[in-house]
Structure 1
Amino acid sequence: MHNLKLMTWNCRSLKANLSQFKVKLYTEKPHVACLCETWMKPGHEPTFINYRVNWAHRTNKAGGGLACLIRRDVAILENKFTIHRGGLLEVQLISIKTNKGKLNIINTYNPGKNITKNEFNHYFDQLTEFSILVGDFNAHNSYWDVSSTNNTTGNNLLEALQENISVTLLTPQSFPTYMNPRNGKYSTLDLCFVPSKWYPISNTNISGDCGSDHAVIMIEIRVKPDCMTFKTRQRWKFETGSWTNWKSKLKEHKTPSNNIQENYTVFCKNILESAEQTFRKTKDTCNIKYCKPWWTKECDEAVKTKSRIKNYFRKHPTIQNLIELRKAEALVKRTTRACKKQSWERYASEINSFTPAGQVWSKVKSLRNNFVRENNPLIINNNIITDPVSKTEEIAKHFQQTMSSPKKDNTHLLLTLAYALCDEDTEYNQSFTKYELIGILEDLKNSSSGNDLIHNKFLKNLPDSYIEFLLHIINQCYNKSVCPTEWKEALIIPIPKPGKPLSSPESYRPISLLPCTAKVMEKLVCRRMEYMLERGNKLSYCQGGFRKKLSTLDLICNIENDIRKVLIDKKICILVCFDLKSAYDRVCQMGLLYKLAECGIKGKMLAWIKEYITERTFTVYYEGEYSSKKTTTSGLPQGSSLSPMLFNVMMRDIPTHSGVKYTAYADDISIFAEGDNQKDVLNIIQTNINEITRWADKWGMEFNVNKTKAMIFSRKKNIKKCNIKLKCMDIEIVNQHRYLGMILDAPYLTWKQHIKQLKTKVLSKMNILSSVSHQHWGADRVMLLRLYKSLVRSVMDYGCIFYDSSSKTNLKSLDPVQNRCLRIAIGARKTTPVLSLEVEADILPLDIHRKMVIMRYHARVSELPHWVPAKMNLFYENKVLTKKKWSIINVPPLSVRVQYAYQEIETSPSKDLASDLISPFPPWLDLTKFVEDDFMSSTVKETSEMEVNQIFKSNMENKYQQYLEIYTDGSKHTTENTTSAGMIIGKLDVMEKWLLSPYITVLGAELFAIDRALRWVLENADKIITNKGIVILTDSLSAIQLIQDRLPKTYRYRIFGIQNSILHIMTKMKICIQWIPSHKNIIGNEIVDKIAKDAQNNKFSTLSRIAKEEKVREIRIMTRNMWQRVWRNSVLYHNKGKFLTNIKECVAYWPWASNKIRVIETVMSRLRLGHAGVKQHLLRFNISNDDKCECREVETITHFLLECPIYSIIRRNMKTDL
């Protein structure tokens, strides 16, 4: 531990001398820095690396101000301090912990006033035996400055010092802390007072200057501040080695034994031993980087020159030398300012469309990063705890209390569980297959490892023998219903909750890290359990959390739709939003197992889940220390892949009274009821709340009454105050409440408050765009527009399908946000018309964009099952509502607004494409056995037609002898904009061809053909039963790969239909879809290719439903067509933005509009937009006296570039160069 280092300095404007001070601060690295005369204003304070700052601004007038910078590794303590009533000193106090105890540091500034002895005594009396008083006292006295003339403040300070014998002046006599800029004379104004017994162990010295007329003073006291060493978990540096080397160093494992723990230990040991020999690890300590990239040699030279001139001026204080000193000081400021600007410009210019995406987002993240490490003591029962081990243990105790609940009498559940644990005759209880394990390993993300340091990258790169070894361990665990000890241990990292006091353990959120191997096992179990729950419809249709393809928007859609109908029908609706206290941590484990058994989860799966979630332990890692192991008696494992689905099972049977609807997204639960009479609705809601309370008590759940809110929606004027109770306590009835990220406002649901807060939220993100762009330097327009879409518009997009129903005034308040971002991105002037701005940037106006998002959401919902409430609202309950008349007061629900949006772009709404949430194929069935893409081992492009045909004939004879061959193909004619598909069965002389919608893609046509082929097989199964099997041959590898996927990201409706057909056919005969290469003269493929192309000549299209992805493409095209019409009409109507129409006839993306050189990019944009610095434009805004060029013609952009004779030589030279 080092001695306490304290810096004190009168900065005389911190902003003016910030660069030099940062260099000094980052070089000296004092534990505490006390500044006075900062001259800062609230909201404009700078930040410092590894320092937290306590500001004390002068609020009544300019000047003054104090700041204390405390290094983040130093422990800060609470303090009590009283200010002298009517005092003139500016005073600030901080307290830190040292090996001697609590140390108070008082920072002081006298703004040139006569300070009384009483005021000095007031502060001296508060100095404990461990206190330091520093600052600029503006006190002159010969006691500490022989050459000075005493003033009133100096005399009073000396008298107060003499009366307080326990305080000593540490500042040496005639210590040169201040230089008079008029005569170069030094005086002692900055003083330091310490306890008398500390005088022998303290010293002070001058540490140069940082641009102010006061010197920087360094004080060193031989006490040890309580400093924390920032530690972190070690991570593997995978870039330091190769996976080939790692695999080669893996030991050959022996034949697995029957001991699961022994097998798992060998598995992990071999992986880690090989990793230690191949990859390096990061250090376990965090080194703070005091970055000064902008400080260059030029800055050093300027400072040295200034110091040399300053010393010369001190010896020879003449006017000429003073002038030279002022010049040197100005040069330092100019140099540092210029270097800082150039450094930032280089940094910002690296963020462009040619920079790798990872580097770009790393830079953007660094601009937004607010996470800092600090030494924050805990306060437990008024006891201050600063020791990292003790703090870690206290946080662990708090988490243990949260994850433990009183034991309940569950004897009535034991009989059902005992029976369920014995049932094993089910497919989902079979051993896991290698196909399942490989599918899980391929989908693993690079998430943090658990305590065992086995990272997912190790598992993804396992050789085949180790995959078999891992599968053996997993099946041992599953069949015997046991787990290795390490799987039941969690490592918890406490993360501070925003806005909470860091001195309380309750202010930390547990982030749990589990062994990656355990999470692989969880995913295997979860995938099977999800299949059983979803295919068996065991979950409530109102649950939207942690379910494939469902989102928070679907639940908000239900609430918004019901509220709108209530307002339309002039009824009343009461909405109650519940808050579950520590929802995951209070789950009753026995109750959960009972509910799983009710859902049909029995046998090995139930037994393994029981073993996995019970009797778990955890260790807390905080500030580099580990707590002792703690046990849990309730709850689900945090960070587990299995926990979300288990929590859904726990919440599946929330009771609902007749007339009450509910939505649940994880632990965000809401109920709502409507009616004509407030009293009746209130009774229904209260009855349901009572039922939910009893349900919660039964299963060990607890609601937080203070965070549970109620809202009343109605257009009725006679709404009375009412009491809604939860556990005999009143639920607060509010007019605004945030639910699933949207702020609902009662009683009319105007979304006004949501839009207001949304605008505030995106302002900080807009600043990122401003900071990395300029007219002459910075990121290019492609990257800036990408940042706008990612950081700003994405935030505005969430929930815009709902708040689009707000008033035009509210919605218009968001337009300036986009307008400003576009001006930043393309470098346009503020005078540029918005119409031209949007077209130049190729960004839709926000009102049109919101309509497109609404239609895209409608297309997404079209693929959801019929039972999803959002699907019912948008597709089945809008026929009556469309006949009503709408107004600003009578706002239509989303189901009606969708129809109007489609009408505006002149296209039909998306058709119902209802499909299941998950694949119909059971996880334990290997899809690759039915859909194959392994035609040949070598590359097709490098193989001749003759060889390909030989391989094809060989495959058909060996694998598909006596199979019925069906060839399918899809075709797209780009010039004619037509899509078609075909199918042939040569043996049966069957040939079919279809002309499809022009919006269907080639991939969509290929999938359509395969789907029709499978349907033909199902319809004609009796006729072809004599064949050994069916093989469908297609040349679309993309289609094959999609069909093999259980979680297809696109064409889900078509893929699930194909997979379902395969399931039905395989019960009657063998079926396989085989990929074959295209354009290799395979006869059947060539014939079907001609048939598919010939189908483009069909007179009528086949009525086929367009997939969601194709509908979204159609919506995008039609929306842009509408934007084209709106833009042209608006230009004619408003007479603005005409100049751009001469250059750009239609809205379209121009890739050549971007340029690597930012200044060229912005200049070209301004020229196209017609708002450049020519006099005709400047005259319109009274910036120029006339519109004449030097040649006395009107100076327009055209004249300036093409016609003006003054620049004829320059134009001629430019043409020659081109």
Structure 2
Amino acid sequence: MPHGSQPSRDLTAVQVNSGERQVTLLNLYNAPPRTVDSGEGLKHLISQSLPVGPCLVAGDFNLHHPQWRTNATITSPGAEPFLQWADQQGLHLTLQPNTPTRGNSTIDLVWANSPLICQGTHTEPAPGFPALTDHIAISTSIHWHPVNNKKPVPPLRMATMQEDIFHSAIHKEAAALGEPPPTQLDLTPEALDQYTSAIIQTIKNALEASTKRAHANPSGHRWWNEDLRQAKRHYWRTQLDNFSDSKDIFKAIKWNRTEGTFPTPPLKDGNRVHTTANAKAELLVKTLLQKAACTEDVPVNCNNPEATLPFPDVTTGEAHQAIFQAKSSTPGQDEIPNAVLKKAWPALGSHISALYKHCATTGWHPTPFRQALLVALPKPGKKDYSSPRSYRLIALLSTLGKGLERLMARRLAWIAIRHKILHPQQFGALPCRSATDLAAALVHDIEEAWARGLSASMLTLDVKGAFDAVLSGRLIQRLQSQGWPSTMLHWVLSFTQDRTAAIRLDGHQSPTFAVPAGLPQGSPVSPILFMLYVEPIFRIGPMIAHRGRFGYADDICQLVISKSLEENTTRLQSIATDLIEWGQREGLTFDLAKTELQHFARGWKRNNPTCSIQTPEGTVEIKPPQLNEATRWLGIWFDRKLKFRIHTQTLAAKAKLAANGIQALANTVRGVKAPLLRQATIACVVSVLCYGAEAWWPGRRRLRQDLSGRQKLISNGVGAQLACLDRVLRSALLGTLPVYRTTRTAILHRESAIPPVELLLDQRRRSLAIRIHQLDIQHPLHLRVTHQPNRYISTRLLRAADPKNFHLIEQVDPLLTSPWDSNLEPKERPTTTPKAQAREEFQKWLDFIPPLSMVVYTDGSKGKEGTAAGAGWAGYWGTSKTKIFSGHAKLPNHEVFDAEARAALLGLQAALKDPKTQHSTNIYICLDNLEAVQQLQSQPKGSSQLIFMNFQEAARAWPLHPRAPGIQSGTVQVKWVPGHTGIEGNEEADKEAKMGCYAPLELPPPPASLAAAKRAAQRVHWQCFAQFWAEKASKCYKDLGIGIEKRPPELQLP
């Protein structure tokens, strides 16, 4: 019906009623200029008053304004009067700005008043809907049906926790639990469930006693006028000016980039549309969780008498690490965040450790840990969010249970790599294995093929459903064949079976339902279990195909190499057929809609063959992209000639969003302080611009040998890519510093201490070269660098790693020690003790050591100039404090930390050679470096690893050392001594260490330590930055002698 007291054919109203609910829909046609009745529809609309209840105003407005088209060059005359009227009526634009509705223009608009906004609306283009003339149809969904009347319990506000009350309550509750059950006692699954529930309830009681809940009252309707706008502006300006922590700035940038929170749109199931929260939740469960073909599962048998893999008892140190090395995450239904578990550890640590030990021994995952709260998160970049496959269900699990799962995941990952269960090129939730490592290995293989005159082709496949498609029976069968012990199989079976969940969607929580199959997304152990489940994928087909098969979780890539692209496609067809047939037998399918083909060839070859894959449903033809396009895999865009231009353009566009957010937080007058913005620029812009540099960045130039045998530098043709990335970095630096837009780029780099992109990318290459020395020998990058049969082949990876000089830096094995070999929870460091008090305590300890003991003081030193460090040691006899030996050594290309480790080893070796060892019981190694003290007593994983291991081996052999009759055996103990406090032995060792810096060099010199290599890489990086500044600095800066500083003092100015 026409709307208003004076009806107009340009304004029509419809009232929709259902029970007690009513909504008014107004449709407007505003004739454009120079037509019949131009602007009359709009005039009629703004002369009316809207109903008080929910109301929607939509139609063809034929108005141009920057509010809905930010790049509009003109503003229609009627736009401002309409906006004033809309503000008075409380209307809000629900259509996303800059959404084209006719050509490139935005002239069809949708507005809703506050009552309707609170009810829930979602507006988006509907290009598939039949449209009139040349306009795009606009779809608006209204959350019509009422949500669950049951009011949810408001969440706990952790910021209100009173820690003194919590600690008092948790100790009181823990005392009521009694003593933890001994490890020798066998607990049944029912007893473990009861024990788990008791621990959870203990923590919840302490939380309820010490923490407030959020207010249950909803916020009022928001209405704005000019006074409130000014108050809001003043509030946010004050907030930005008072930011003092990096967390504040990252929250502000995240908020600035957030698109907003809207109700889930109606979901489609074929021709059927689901609009209620319950119906949408049921569809998500049906599509994403119950699609696994459970009928294809196999009977379960967890007994494995032929188990070959180790799985020792859980240690207290493992339990401690599982809790304290975890990042903060959203809690599950028990509302216990991980930070609370850390606070509760002093009272409940023994109970948590006992629970984890008994669960691993019994092979049982407690039932309370299998209750999940599912949250539907939209997958970014999807075009159609009405499809349930555009969402990912993330399981919010008990953080206490995730600690146990994290412990198991670390064990599984270490054993799978150490015992070669997984293929070397199967990556995912594994230590020292990143997506960029895999991409770098792939680029190396392609360039190596080119150097041999061959062509390469890549086919990417995606396992459909991934975690949700795992069947428990087949998973147990797979683990059984791999040699896992029975207790582990029982634990995995209990982890995967009898799971329950509820979905939280649009403020509504569905009833609890059973999850028939799959692994929960959000569990720390799910990724490694999935990798073990699909492990046979990497052993299917001929051996020649195995080296070219790469995988990261459920993303599989097959690289084939031959003389022609046509031969490559033939091989890929055969390999894809084998994989699909294996998937059919195992109940897994590959999503061929996501399968992509990419050819790699040099020269001017224009052939671009397709790949036809045979499936049970028929033949699927996979077409490669056009010659100037690229294929995305693991976040990197691979193009035909590995120029990576599309990749850098994509990175620049993504980083520009963060740069815009940084610019919005400050200007030359007010805003966030420059040091905080610098942190944000490095974390949010630089990290994006440099993503994947280890794989794609070739350097600006490279050496090439000409026909005469001479080497010369040639350009890699990356100038345009660097310019593209530098423009974005400049934009971010303009927001970081309080400067004008005309400020020279070199000055921006100097004042922010952030180098140009080229130097940042070069530093990534140097870091990669050093990092390869910290990888295990089975890692694909380590294998490619150390096993290169042809020394004339040059790739990006080999140019960065320099295989000829690879042996000049020490090699560290990150998997040398197992997770269960970790020490008990670390003791509190004595750094807070005043030096005078620490000296007095050490002297008292020294007076009461056994008289037949040796005390060896060791120290490391390094001069201000030069790259050599010195190690010094001095030995004293018992309580008489008589000096019996001393010595020093020069260590080129070592740092002070390495010298401390070497001094401890050399000091111990000197003590073992001294004649008084026959009359000694204990040997005390005293040094003033806390980190070295801990590494000497634990499992070293970093620089000087071999030195620490040799020290521990010598210490273990000391009790067996021959002694004089009547002398008891003793141990080697490491003791921290406060440095530079006048303790005689420490001062003597310090003198010896300084002498060692300038002592003659022993031949052959040891390899450079990792710490020294990292320091050298940083030194080269800043030298290149200084050279850049010397070339680009303006005359006034040169005249003042202003150079490059790592932390410019100007950044600290208010």
Match of 1:385 in 2: 274
Match of 1:663 in 2: 550
**Aligned-pair distance for 1:494?**
1.0
**Aligned-pair distance for 1:366?**
1.4
**Aligned-pair distance for 1:603?**
3.3
1:1041–1:630 CA distance, 2 compared to 1 (3 A): same
- Find the residue that maps to 2:330 and give its secondary structure: coil
Match of 1:544 in 2: 427
1:32 and 2:56 are equivalent in the alignment: yes
**Aligned-pair distance for 1:732?**
3.1
Q: Which of 877, 893, 902 is the matching residue for 2:788?
A: 877
In the alignment, is the contact (CA less than 8 A) between 1:555 and 1:663 conserved in 2? yes
Match of 2:646 in 1: 753
Q: Summarize deviations over 1:226-259 as a string: whole Å, max 9, x none.
A: 6899987743222323233123223322466862
- Find the residue that maps to 2:290 and give its secondary structure: helix
In 2, Cα distance between equivalents of 1:443 and 1:1062: 26
Q: Summarize deviations over 1:1011-1046 as a string: whole Å, max 9, x none.
A: 5557779x9799969865654322211223455666
1:616 and 2:499 are equivalent in the alignment: yes
Q: Summarize deviations over 1:529-576 as a string: whole Å, max 9, x none.
A: 344333333332212321212211211111111111222332111222
- Find the residue that maps to 2:405 and give its secondary structure: helix
Size of the aligned set, in residue pairs, is 938
In 2, Cα distance between equivalents of 1:996 and 1:63: 70
In the alignment, is the contact (CA less than 8 A) between 1:581 and 1:702 conserved in 2? yes
In 2, Cα distance between equivalents of 1:782 and 1:357: 9
Aligned pairs for 1:1156-1175 (under 5 A) are 1156=1053
Match of 1:184 in 2: none
- Find the residue that maps to 1:1066 and give its secondary structure: helix
Q: Give the counterpart letter for 1:666 in structure 2.
A: A
Q: Summarize deviations over 1:147-187 as a string: whole Å, max 9, x none.
A: xxxxxxxxxxxxxxxxxxxxxxxxxxxxxxxxxxxxxxxxx
Match of 1:893 in 2: 796
In 2, Cα distance between equivalents of 1:1015 and 1:256: 44
Q: Give the counterpart letter for 2:595 in structure 1.
A: T
Q: Summarize deviations over 1:782-839 as a string: whole Å, max 9, x none.
A: 3333332222221111122443336223333322222333344445555554444433
Q: Which of 911, 931, 936 is the matching residue for 1:1038?
A: 931
**Aligned-pair distance for 1:1088?**
1.7
In 2, Cα distance between equivalents of 1:897 and 1:589: 44
1:517–1:1082 CA distance, 2 compared to 1 (3 A): same
Could you state the TM-score of these two structures normalised by the residue count of structure 2? 0.79
Match of 2:40 in 1: none
Q: Which of 1137, 1143, 1160 is the matching residue for 2:1040?
A: 1143
- Find the residue that maps to 1:419 and give its secondary structure: coil
Q: Give the counterpart letter for 2:335 in structure 1.
A: L
Match of 1:723 in 2: 611
Q: Give the counterpart letter for 1:438 in structure 2.
A: H
In the alignment, is the contact (CA less than 8 A) between 2:249 and 2:676 conserved in 1? no
Q: Which of 787, 811, 817 is the matching residue for 1:920?
A: 817
1:941 and 2:835 are equivalent in the alignment: yes
Match of 1:123 in 2: none
- Find the residue that maps to 2:944 and give its secondary structure: helix
Could you state the TM-score of these two structures normalised by the residue count of structure 1? 0.69
Match of 2:766 in 1: 855
In the alignment, is the contact (CA less than 8 A) between 1:49 and 1:290 conserved in 2? no
- Find the residue that maps to 2:550 and give its secondary structure: strand
In the alignment, is the contact (CA less than 8 A) between 1:51 and 1:71 conserved in 2? no
Answer with 1 or 2: which has the greater Rg: 1
1:370 and 2:259 are equivalent in the alignment: yes
1:233–1:791 CA distance, 2 compared to 1 (3 A): farther
Q: Summarize deviations over 1:855-911 as a string: whole Å, max 9, x none.
A: 1111112211223221233455397237x7xxxxxxx533125559x9xxxxx8784
Match of 1:296 in 2: 227
In 2, Cα distance between equivalents of 1:1123 and 1:761: 26
What residue ranges of structure 1 are gaps of 5+ in the alignment? 14-20, 100-224, 300-335, 885-891, 903-907, 1158-1218
1:74 and 2:100 are equivalent in the alignment: no
**Aligned-pair distance for 1:349?**
3.7
1:782 and 2:683 are equivalent in the alignment: no
1:714–1:1027 CA distance, 2 compared to 1 (3 A): farther
Match of 1:803 in 2: 696
Q: Give the counterpart letter for 1:881 in structure 2.
A: Y
- Find the residue that maps to 1:628 and give its secondary structure: coil
In the alignment, is the contact (CA less than 8 A) between 2:130 and 2:137 conserved in 1? no
Aligned pairs for 1:542-621 (under 5 A) are 542-621=425-504
**Aligned-pair distance for 1:375?**
5.4
Q: Give the counterpart letter for 1:790 in structure 2.
A: A
Q: Give the counterpart letter for 1:604 in structure 2.
A: T
**Aligned-pair distance for 1:681?**
4.2
In 2, Cα distance between equivalents of 1:63 and 1:799: 38
1:950 and 2:844 are equivalent in the alignment: yes
In 2, Cα distance between equivalents of 1:706 and 1:692: 16
- Find the residue that maps to 2:263 and give its secondary structure: coil
Match of 2:510 in 1: 627
In 2, Cα distance between equivalents of 1:591 and 1:950: 63
Match of 1:237 in 2: 157
1:737–1:510 CA distance, 2 compared to 1 (3 A): same
Match of 1:253 in 2: 177
1:679–1:34 CA distance, 2 compared to 1 (3 A): closer
1:270–1:836 CA distance, 2 compared to 1 (3 A): closer
In 1, Cα distance between equivalents of 2:917 and 2:50: 83
1:380–1:438 CA distance, 2 compared to 1 (3 A): same
**Aligned-pair distance for 1:683?**
4.7
1:358–1:992 CA distance, 2 compared to 1 (3 A): same
Instruction: State the identity %.
Output: 19
1:283–1:685 CA distance, 2 compared to 1 (3 A): same
- Find the residue that maps to 1:53 and give its secondary structure: coil
Match of 2:1017 in 1: 1115
In 2, Cα distance between equivalents of 1:62 and 1:662: 47
**Aligned-pair distance for 1:466?**
2.7
1:667–1:1043 CA distance, 2 compared to 1 (3 A): farther
Q: Summarize deviations over 1:652-676 as a string: whole Å, max 9, x none.
A: 3422523232222212221212233
Q: Which of 1088, 1092, 1098 is the matching residue for 2:993?
A: 1092
1:408 and 2:296 are equivalent in the alignment: yes
In the alignment, is the contact (CA less than 8 A) between 2:426 and 2:552 conserved in 1? yes
Aligned pairs for 1:210-289 (under 5 A) are 234-249=154-169, 250-251=172-173, 252-254=176-178, 259-283=191-215, 287=219
1:820 and 2:717 are equivalent in the alignment: no
**Aligned-pair distance for 1:743?**
0.2
In 2, Cα distance between equivalents of 1:823 and 1:718: 44
1:627–1:31 CA distance, 2 compared to 1 (3 A): same
Q: Give the counterpart letter for 2:889 in structure 1.
A: W
Q: Give the counterpart letter for 2:56 in structure 1.
A: V
Match of 2:303 in 1: 418
Match of 1:468 in 2: 350
In the alignment, is the contact (CA less than 8 A) between 1:819 and 1:834 conserved in 2? yes
In 1, Cα distance between equivalents of 2:908 and 2:579: 48
Q: Give the counterpart letter for 2:321 in structure 1.
A: G
**Aligned-pair distance for 1:754?**
1.1
1:848–1:67 CA distance, 2 compared to 1 (3 A): same
1:700 and 2:587 are equivalent in the alignment: yes
In 1, Cα distance between equivalents of 2:143 and 2:436: 53
Match of 2:860 in 1: 970
**Aligned-pair distance for 1:6?**
7.7
1:434 and 2:319 are equivalent in the alignment: no
Match of 1:742 in 2: 636
Match of 1:151 in 2: none
Q: Give the counterpart letter for 1:868 in structure 2.
A: H
Q: Give the counterpart letter for 1:1137 in structure 2.
A: S
- What's the RMSD between the two structures over aligned residues? 4.4
Q: Which of 89, 95, 111 is the matching residue for 1:53?
A: 95
